[in-house]
Amino acid sequence: MPGAQDLRPVYLVTGCAGFIGSHLSERLVRDGNLVVGVDCLTDHYPRRMKEENLKWLRGQGNFTFLEEDLTSCRLGSVPARELVIFHLAARPGVRDSWGGTFEDYVRDNILATQRLLEWAKDRKVEKFVYVSSSSVYGDAGELPSKEDGNPKPISPYGVTKLAAESLCYAYWRNFGIPVVVLRYFTVYGPRQRPDMAFYRFIRAILEDEEVEVYGDGTQTRDFTYVGDVVEATVRATELPDGEIFNVGSGSRISIKRAIEILEGLMGRKARVRYSDAMKGDIGDTYADISKIRRFLDYNPKGLEEGLAEEIEWLRGSG
């Protein structure tokens, strides 16, 4: 933990052991910032993967790891000075959010956010960046999705992410916490979660197993490279308070086409099996990114380049 004489702001990253949170933490540490990462290493996917994500960070002098559950919010050891908070901790994933596990979604997505906001309201916070999801849009509105539409999530996960957005708004209006909400669109790249499509597809192609596609493959996604998401998130400190911004690639392709791209990059044919669409999955996602581009120089990268990195990572990660 940094000493009391050090007056630099502290960057607090929740969910720092996760797919995106670990990339964000690494970027902030490399830039020379003091970073405190919080994560309780939930069992949503293997703990060993999260430990691996933390490996480099744990060896850095300007990074401190707190293994804490945000619902208890025992953050007393975080230095009492200016804070920039990036709140990524959550229980992600649409398909698992039905039935009995909903309780976990309410806990990790809504309650954890409320506890963190309560803690933050008595602190000197320069920015509170809440990471939300394209899942809040549902499939009712026009495409590409704009931030000022009326979100209508069609999954319990989307409902919890929208509820947490609303909590952030309420704490901004009532307590002046300088909140910015970012809505990420399907993120991919090295360290992607094992329940996500590209991870499953690449693994199956490498192991010559069937690639299972939920639905008929014509559904489209706005896929966003993790490096672009990190760039936008770091720079979200420059965005106006109380506002919502899409963080997508601003383009979309079908799952079928994405598999063809993987086949080209991997030099192998995929054996595809189509199964029933999953409840809660949105037909199409497509981000209108004109709002964030009005404020930031945000230029997302092409899909092939980012996918090549994910393939390399999965080839090396046994």
Which of the ranges 32-40, 233-241, 255-263, 274-282 carries the binding residues for ligand NAD, by CB under 6 A? 32-40
Per CB under 6 A, 50 contacts ligand NAD: yes
Q: Which is nearer to ligand NAD, 44 or 127 (CB)?
A: 44
Cα 216–chain centre separation = 26
Q: Which is nearer to ligand NAD, 112 or 204 (CB)?
A: 112
Distance (Å, rounded) from C-alpha 73 to C-alpha 86? Answer: 15
Q: Which is nearer to ligand NAD, 49 or 204 (CB)?
A: 49
Task: Find, among 201, 219, 218, the residue nearest to 271 by Cα.
Answer: 201
How many residues bind to ligand NAD according to rule CB under 6 A?
30
Q: Binding marks (x or -) toward ligand NAD, 173..192, rule CB under 6 A?
A: -----------x-xx-----
Catalytic hit among 11, 105, 137, 157: 157
Distance (Å, rounded) from C-alpha 146 to C-alpha 228? Answer: 19
Distance (Å, rounded) from C-alpha 32 to C-alpha 30? Answer: 5
Per CB under 6 A, 15 contacts ligand NAD: yes
Neighbours of 261 (CB within 10 A): 14
**157 annotated active-site:** yes
Give just the sign of the alpha carbon dihedral 19, 130, 287, 145.
positive
Q: Which residues pair with 14 in a beta bridge?
A: 38, 87
Tell me the residue ranges of DSSP E strands in the chain.
10-14, 34-39, 63-67, 83-87, 125-133, 179-184, 187-188, 210-214, 220-221, 224-225, 243-247, 253-254, 271-275
Instruction: State which of residues 11, 12, 13, 19 lies at the interface with ligand NAD (CB under 6 A).
Output: 19
Per CB under 6 A, 252 contacts ligand NAD: no
Per CB under 6 A, 108 contacts ligand NAD: yes
Per CB under 6 A, 165 contacts ligand NAD: no
Active site residues: 157
Residues within the interface to ligand NAD (CB under 6 A): 15, 17-21, 38-42, 44, 50, 69-71, 88-92, 108, 112, 131, 133, 161, 184, 186-187, 193
